[in-house]
Structures are given as C-alpha cells and as structure tokens.
C-alpha cells in the first residue's frame, strides 16, 4: 500500500504544472492544495482494481490521479467561506486562508480541468473508445448527478432532519460516486471484465463508498482536530445530519461493519486477485474509530 501511495503522490507531483510556470501563483496554489496530504484512498482503489485485470501501473496511476484531482478540487471549494468556511485541512491552512478566496475558486476550477486533461493526455486503454468511456464516467461522477449534486443535497440538508434513506441518497452522490469511479477507472485500464466481475466490482465500490462516509461521520464526531488534521466536530456545529446523528454512534459502527461485510461478499466472484481490494476495505473501515 505504501508503494502505491508513493506512486500516487509522485504522479500528482508530475501532472501538476510546475510552481514557476506562469501563472505562477495559481500553479503554486494548485500544488499547495494537492501535494503532501491525504491518504489517497481513491488512487489506492484504482490500483487495487487495476491489479484485478493486469492493468499497467503507469496507466492506473494516471486514472487514479485524475480522480484524486477531482477530490482535491472539491475540498478546496468545500472549505470556502460560502460553503463550510473551514480554515484547516490536512493540518494546514485551507487554500483561501493561505492565498485568497478568488485564488481558491480558480484553483478548484483549474484542478477540475486538469483531472480531465490527465485522463485524456495519453492512451490509458487499448481501445480509445474505452478511454472516452472513462472520461464520461469521471464527468458523471463529478457532476450534478454525482459529487457536486451531493454537495447541493448536503447544503439543502443543513438544519433539517433526514431519515436514513435520504442520508444515504446524499452520500451515494457526495462521496460514493467518486469512490465508485476510482474503482471502475482502475479496472478499465486493463483487460475487459466479465459481466459477473464488473457487477461484483460495482457492488463492492458502492458498499465501500458508503462505509467510507459512515466512518468519516464517526471520526468527525469522535476524533480530535489534531488526529484528523481538519476541524473536528464540524458537522454537529454546522447542524448537519450525519450517520451519527441519525443512527447514534453504536448503530453507525454496526452499519460500517455491515457495509464492510457486503463489500466482502461482492468480491467473491472476483476470486483471489481481489485480495488488495479486501485489504483496502479493511483500511477504509478500520481508520481510527
């Protein structure tokens, strides 16, 4: 896993424009927003899915970097004053604090463009039609029917009471779409999947995407700001519904374990080559709660 994390990091360093290239301040801020932070869960999922289908590492690294750039842009915009108004991210001042709001806005915008550029820049699949499909999947996962739509649902939910179904609908969009996309893109870099494999992988990705969010909610409620590297307790403070507020902490932990079990079951048709995906599921669910 460390090797893959390091490769993900190197790939991001390489695809981001150099800090001295004009417009230099924008490029510096883009690098500040992306490099040296995060667990790179999305690239790790891409690598693990790529391993299933013998995908060349350098292709999967590009696909994983593209998804991570979308994730990074969403954090920059999400931290802005008109959204969550947060000042700390991965233990550092957020981009609009370190630079300014206008720069944060442009950093997010340019990181989104860069994600698609990375996914289109070199051949990532033997069949270019598959690469077009990868680009379509990323655009869908990032857009109003995916991550950005999830953010909008999140905004509308502040101060309201959601039931479990509504909460799940929100997170399937907000976090789940991109996690699922990372997994599918990794797999599309290699040999074609059988229908049973693709469907198993998709079920795995959906379960693990939700599990990720349940654990995030638990961490926000229970861990300290120092451990998280971002402000803890923000959800409660912002009066946002979470798995912890909707289910209670104990049932939320139970739900994370149940989703983990569903993810495991989905891997069965994929056979022993799915071992990396299983390990990642553990990593995601067993973060420190």
The single residue among 8, 12, 15, 30 that binds its own copies, judged by CB under 8 A, is: 30
The single residue among 6, 10, 23, 282 that binds its own copies, judged by CB under 8 A, is: 23
The single residue among 121, 254, 282, 288 that binds its own copies, judged by CB under 8 A, is: 121
- Minimal distance in Å, beta carbon 33 to its own copies? 12
The single residue among 10, 14, 117, 257 that binds its own copies, judged by CB under 8 A, is: 117
- Contact between 123 and 117 under an 8 Å Cβ cutoff? The reply is no
Q: Which of 207, 193, 199, 212 is nearest to 50 (CA)?
A: 193
- Minimal distance in Å, beta carbon 7 to its own copies? 23
Contact window for its own copies (CB under 8 A) among 56-64, 125-133, 185-193, 237-245: 125-133
Contact between 191 and its own copies by CB under 8 A: the answer reads no
Extract the tokens encoding 102.
């206008």
* Distance separating alpha carbons of residues 41 and 64, to the nearest angstrom: 9
Nearer to its own copies, 38 or 146 (CB): 146
The radius of gyration of the chain from alpha carbons, rounded to an integer in Å, stands at 18
The single residue among 145, 160, 191, 257 that binds its own copies, judged by CB under 8 A, is: 145
Nearer to its own copies, 158 or 265 (CB): 158
Nearer to its own copies, 116 or 283 (CB): 116
- Minimal distance in Å, beta carbon 4 to its own copies? 25
- Minimal distance in Å, beta carbon 134 to its own copies? 9
- Minimal distance in Å, beta carbon 167 to its own copies? 14
Q: What are phi and psi of 192, to 5 degrees?
A: -65, 140
The interface with its own copies within residues 70-109 (CB under 8 A) comprises 73-74, 77, 80, 82-83, 100-103, 105-106, 108-109
Contact between 155 and its own copies by CB under 8 A: the answer reads yes
Query: Under rule CB under 8 A, how many of the chain's residues touch its own copies?
Result: 56
- Minimal distance in Å, beta carbon 84 to its own copies? 9
Q: What are phi and psi of 88, to 5 degrees?
A: -130, 135
Spell out the SS3 assignment of the chain. Answer: CHHHHHHHHHHHHHHCCCCCCCCHHHHHHHHHHHCCCCCCHHHHHHHHHHHHCCCCHHHHHHHHHHHHHHHHHHHHHHCCCCCCCCCEECCEECHHHHCCHHHHHHHHHHHHHHHHHHHHHCCCCCCHHHHHHHHHHHHHHHCCCCHHHHHHHHHHHCCCCCCHHHHHHHHHHHHHHHHHHHHHHHHHCCCCCCHHHHHHHHHHHHHHHHHHHHHHHHHHHHCCHHHHCCCCCHHHHCCCCCHHHHHCHHHHHHHHHHHHHHHHHHHHHHHHHHHHHHHHHHHHHCCCC
Contact between 144 and its own copies by CB under 8 A: the answer reads yes
- Minimal distance in Å, beta carbon 261 to its own copies? 29
Contact between 207 and its own copies by CB under 8 A: the answer reads no
The contact set with its own copies (CB under 8 A) reads 17, 22-23, 25-27, 30, 73-74, 77, 80, 82-83, 100-103, 105-106, 108-110, 112-117, 119-121, 123, 127-129, 131-133, 135-136, 138-140, 142-146, 148-149, 151-153, 155-156, 169
């Amino acid at each position: 896993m460390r090797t893959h994390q390091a490769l993900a990091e190197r790939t991001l360093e390489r695809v981001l424009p150099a800090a001295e290239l004009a417009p230099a301040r924008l490029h510096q801020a883009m690098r500040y927003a992306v490099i040296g932070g995060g667990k790179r869960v999305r690239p790790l999922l891409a690598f693990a899915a790529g391993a299933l289908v013998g995908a060349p590492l350098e292709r999967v690294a590009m696909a994983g970097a593209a998804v991570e750039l979308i994730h990074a842009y969403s954090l920059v915009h999400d931290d802005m004053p008109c959204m969550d108004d947060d000042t700390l991210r991965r233990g550092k001042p957020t981009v609009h604090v370190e630079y300014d709001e206008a720069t944060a806005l442009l950093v997010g915008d340019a990181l989104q463009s860069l994600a698609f550029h990375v996914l289109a820049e070199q051949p990532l699949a033997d069949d270019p039609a598959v690469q077009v499909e990868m680009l379509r999947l990323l655009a869908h996962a990032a857009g109003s029917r995916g991550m950005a739509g999830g953010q909008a649902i999140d905004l509308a939910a502040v101060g309201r009471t959601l039931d479990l179904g509504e909460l799940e609908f929100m997170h399937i969009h907000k976090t789940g779409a991109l996690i699922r996309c990372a997994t599918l893109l990794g797999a599309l870099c290699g040999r074609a999947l059988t229908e049973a494999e693709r469907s198993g992988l998709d079920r795995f990705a959906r379960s693990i995407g939700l599990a990720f969010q349940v654990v995030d909610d638990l961490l926000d409620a229970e861990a300290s700001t120092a451990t998280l590297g971002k402000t803890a307790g923000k959800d409660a403070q912002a009066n946002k519904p979470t798995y912890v507020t909707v289910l209670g902490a104990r049932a939320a932990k139970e739900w994370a374990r149940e989703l983990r079990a569903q993810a495991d079951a989905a891997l069965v048709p994929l056979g022993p080559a799915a071992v990396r995906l299983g390990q990642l599921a553990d990593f995601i669910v067993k973060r420190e709660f």
